[in-house]
Amino acid sequence: MSLNDPSERQIEPNRETPSDGEEPLAIFLKIIGENASNRMAQERFQQSGDTISRVFYKVLDAVVELYTAIVKQPDASQFTPLG
């Protein structure tokens, strides 16, 4: 096996930055659902403060993007005036 041959190298998953799967969502929900601090999330997920912040804002951006794509404001003609 040659170290220079990329087809033979074993690539280990990068544990330092959770970017796919359930962990980013779990970090986001932990912070907003439990009003957890960055430090609490660091301890729970064994990640740095920078990583927790980066992942949190990445998921938040995705939630905002989904909101603008899915949520539609109601049409004013659907409401009857009070009084």
pLDDT of 44-57, one tens digit each?
A: 999 999 999 999 99
Q: Are 51 and 17 in contact (CB under 8 A)?
A: yes
Sign of CA dihedral 4, 17, 12, 20: negative
Q: Are 60 and 28 in contact (CB under 8 A)?
A: yes
* Residue of 59, 66, 49 whose CA lies nearest to 19: 59
Q: Where are the domains of the chain?
A: 17-69
Given this model, what pLDDT does residue 82 score?
A: 80
pTM greater than the 0.75 cutoff: no
pLDDT band at 4 (very low <50, low <70, confident <90, very high): low
Tokens representing 12 are: 């280990």
User: pLDDT by residue (tens digit) across 21-71?
Assistant: 899 999 999 999 999 999 999 999 999 999 999 999 999 999 999 998 998
